[in-house]
Structure 1
């Protein structure tokens, strides 16, 4: 047993169903509604509603196999743990690296989105607000995931109530004429919008990434994943319809605070500020969830000897992977300072979609090997698995040149790190 896999590297199962759902929904709603709805509208126009529908279908097709794998391997790291167990350490490293990079890049639009809404409220520079948010999330997570989970429950309840209030209050101002022309940028715009919307549904995999800290994982993991998607779908449809029906799609797409823009139309300046307050709270919850998942991925890889052992160190008192939290927090700060929402969604979107392909291959291999059945099995695998592969390939193409190039660069960097790490390990073994 290596030092990184000792008993001090075990995480506590302290998250119940509510806390797990809060991590998933908190990692989804904040960035999806308050930041990505504008970007989706800019690409697809009113057909952004169709983009969200396509993204939901893709998410559901992938979530069902993912839930089965999460029940088979309820370990820290989510998809990384699945791939490592079945395909080996080399593929496990690449999977973990892509998964890690996806959320590091995705954090850029989340933290900068928070900074944009905070700027609308207070005048604080967006980057300053984004960095302050990451530091606050690090401080919360240092105290342990149970504390972070409780904070997440409170924030998400407030966010859902506020968003539903937005949808109800704006219903009378919706004008269907604003939904025409339906698809001004044609099918390519709708598909590009679907990639952005797919990021907006990202969150169910965060639940699996924290699987080692979820109590009764055979029941709570699949339930948390499905509840995350169901809650998010309902909220997205209501809020996106209200936003697109009260503001012209091109105005919504150009706004740095799209839902505040919409709220001002039917609630005045006070309404816009109230929505900005809710946006600040929910994007903060998203950033917290992103920090949870990125730190657990690096922790899991370090525990397996694929990254430096310090990242696998767990604080005895809190059960928190302190070094992993600090390192991931530092990367999130770098993205906030040097990144942009456009590059974050393009590169993060490519990596995020790509990281679902190896777990799907793992499930195919397990099904062919007729391994022991888990508590949850994917229904209609002959239909859902091919659909999941088709959706991922379509979304990869939709990520565009910037996303593909940035994603390939991140993978090449990870490959270099893997070979350097392997060489270092061999020298240490010889000595």
Structure 2
């Protein structure tokens, strides 16, 4: 694949960044912001510049680690994954195109002060020229940008220096009149004035010595532009009558006429036209690199990453971006779209800050030449303040940003997902953190075994199956010299009174208690037998467990038919209401198992399931097999994380451990004697969707574990497991 030529030096980098910022931010937006905040608009520009600093630092860091075309898209895609990368790439591409179109249309009113020309045809003509310049090459683009910025800054400098003596302190009266709400609203509006600071990163692949020039270019241009904005807006407010500039299409020209006369107006017009052209030029240059970079990563059609043999530029990507720009100028209300672009830019800056955290905390290779200071507080500050500003953008802007987001998600689902299997550093960082938390819970559970287990006999069982349940319970309590309580629950009709007659022990009851005494001696644990008669077995089981304070209930549970799975049987109700852990046994016999399989669904194993496996394996000298699905298409990061998790888990267990992949079609490398797996009490979803860990029919006893409510993973943890595993 052809590479882009590195021919943008530090002057070009500074020029691209400054030129991208000094446009609508100073020549159009002050008039709109004055209507919101009054003289406090000066503070709004300073605050907006401050709030951009975290994103500027984050982008500088990531750009030196990954100096590739695509900038924002590259960093968010690598850090947060292809889904958020697609949203960032598509959204930023559109927002930069919107801002470029706004710059061209916003610059024409200044031109109309000198010439009587139609607005849209002139804007379309300027756009066409800039598109051709970008097709010719980045070097020409950078040189043009330097020339434009030098002339523009000279004109603005003359305006500021020449107008400063005319500043009237009375124009700053009632400076804080708009309050905090007005300040934040104005800050949100002018925030987009600084969006250009990050455009350098989108052409990072074409920058000479990126480790040095990118941080200097981004941070230097931001500092310079913030001071320039605050100074010019302060002069603009100070030399004009309060209210005379608010809402004007040419606010800087109005101020120049009041202090410098017609010559000042001409200079401002020249600066405004050059500034807005440079904004559009930088917008085409940087936004066209987003589809280019996305195409190289298979998030967009391959034709968009083709580099021209003649010009050395991504002509198809530039042409597509130019076509969007022309359509926006011709048909779309640009000011409304600019507000949408501003809202999305704030959102993307928030993601940029989070992406740095993802890279630093994840396991991906990440070696930036420049590192952001005050990590991670700087990034947290940027993300939180960005969210605050979003609330000030208004309903229309937020809805529009949501539409762009939904469209990007749709593109990801239908085009990207079938072609891309990689994931972001954040996913792996969160997955490893979830794994560490689960391992900590598992270790705590292993050190705190069950002390008293209730074996609830709710059905008539033969002696072999009865013994299996008691043997399982005995193995659970043996490490702590605990007790097994075996209770036969008998249910009588509601119309039958619970008199002394129904509670008299039968010969069968006496035989049952005798068998339990024999099992106590055989298994080497204290076994207590009892019988309970009630009108409602499920309530009786739960009440007994609660009053006795048992740690675990063990009961037999046969596979259920659809009707039973929908409406349940007594033991299903017990699972949902028991004050303790519940183990349901699909009982095919239990007698000193040689190998116990711990079944998982690809994520962390449930701590209770691990603890049960450990106790049973330790009691019988069994080996343990860690089962995991083999029919998944997983990233290398996922595989490494799972291997590390399984390795740490194996070190916790006293039994010899091996890992085995299983297939949904029933294939597996070995046949265990016992399977332990996670259970779910979502009865309706189980019935209709059969949402269980994917394991083949084991052909042996299976224990499904249900932790007590206090031990169940919270919704947020389960959601993270679903998303990351």
Deviation at 1:19, TM superposition (A): 0.6
The total of aligned residue pairs comes to 419
User: What's the counterpart of residue 429 of structure 1?
Assistant: none
**Cα 1:83–1:228, aligned 2, differ >3 Å: closer, same or farther?**
same
2:410 matches 1:409: no
Cα separation, 2, equivalents of 1:131 and 1:264 = 29
Deviation at 1:172, TM superposition (A): 1.4
Which blocks of at least 5 consecutive residues in structure 2 are unaligned? 421-725
Cα separation, 2, equivalents of 1:352 and 1:224 = 20
Superposed CA offset, 1:365-412 (max 9, x none): 222237654211111114312211122111111111111011111122
Cα separation, 2, equivalents of 1:166 and 1:152 = 21
User: What's the counterpart of residue 103 of structure 1?
Assistant: 96
Select the structure with the greater relative contact order (CA < 8 A; seq sep ≥ 6): 1
Map 1:257-272 onto structure 2 (within 5 A): 257-272=250-265
Deviation at 1:185, TM superposition (A): 3.2
Equivalent of residue 128 in structure 2, options 130, 135, 141: 135
User: What's the counterpart of residue 172 of structure 1?
Assistant: 165
Cα separation, 2, equivalents of 1:233 and 1:317 = 39
Superposed CA RMSD: 1.8
Superposed CA offset, 1:189-222 (max 9, x none): 2111101221111222100011111111111111
Superposed CA offset, 1:120-178 (max 9, x none): 22121222222112111101111101101001001101111111110001011110111
Indicate if the aligned counterparts of 1:108 and 1:344 stay in contact, CA closer than 8 A.
Answer: no
Indicate if the aligned counterparts of 1:20 and 1:207 stay in contact, CA closer than 8 A.
Answer: yes
3-state SS of paired residue (1:227): helix
Cα separation, 2, equivalents of 1:199 and 1:144 = 27
Q: Which is strand-richer, 1 or 2?
A: 2
User: What's the counterpart of residue 149 of structure 1?
Assistant: 142
**Cα 1:210–1:249, aligned 2, differ >3 Å: closer, same or farther?**
farther
User: What's the counterpart of residue 412 of structure 2?
Assistant: 418
Deviation at 1:61, TM superposition (A): 2.2
User: What's the counterpart of residue 360 of structure 1?
Assistant: 353
Deviation at 1:298, TM superposition (A): 1.2
TM-score, normalising length: structure 2: 0.56
Indicate if the aligned counterparts of 1:58 and 1:391 stay in contact, CA closer than 8 A.
Answer: yes
Cα separation, 1, equivalents of 2:38 and 2:101 = 24
Deviation at 1:299, TM superposition (A): 0.9
Indicate if the aligned counterparts of 2:152 and 2:274 stay in contact, CA closer than 8 A.
Answer: yes
Superposed CA offset, 1:218-245 (max 9, x none): 1111111011112212211221111111
Deviation at 1:184, TM superposition (A): 4.1
**Cα 1:422–1:73, aligned 2, differ >3 Å: closer, same or farther?**
closer
TM-score, normalising length: structure 1: 0.93
Deviation at 1:100, TM superposition (A): 1.2
3-state SS of paired residue (1:112): helix
Deviation at 1:419, TM superposition (A): 2.9
Cα separation, 2, equivalents of 1:382 and 1:139 = 43
Which blocks of at least 5 consecutive residues in structure 1 are unaligned? 1-6, 427-431
Indicate if the aligned counterparts of 1:346 and 1:400 stay in contact, CA closer than 8 A.
Answer: no
